[in-house]
Amino acid sequence: MSESVYKIIELVGTSKESWEKAAMNAVERASKSLRDLRIAEVSQLDMQINDGKVEAYRVKVKVSFKFEN
């Protein structure tokens, strides 16, 4: 078995529809510039509110990817 090292970064995804869509947006966007994504962990959920109405869902996501030398 080969040994590997993984790097973890934190992202914030947003969506006007749901927290799930916000998380998917963060991962899909990260996959455009990062290779070999492994795990995405949701660490925080919140909402942007305006005049008592939810305007956007926000998700803080920790994403890991294989670290290359």
Among 3.30.1660.10, 3.30.70.2190, 3.30.2230.10, 3.40.109.10, name the CATH number for the domain at 6-66. Answer: 3.30.1660.10
pLDDT tens column, 12-24:
999 999 999 999 9
Domain range summary for the chain, segments of one domain joined by +: 6-66
Adjacent-strand bridge partners of 56 = 48
pLDDT tens column, 33-60:
998 898 999 999 999 999 999 999 999 9
Taking the model in full, what pTM does it have? 0.84
Sign of the C-alpha dihedral computed for residues 11, 23, 41 and 30 taken in this order:
negative
Q: How many angstroms separate the Cα of 3 from the Cα of each of 7, 38, 53? A: 14, 15, 49
- Identify the pLDDT of residue 3: 81
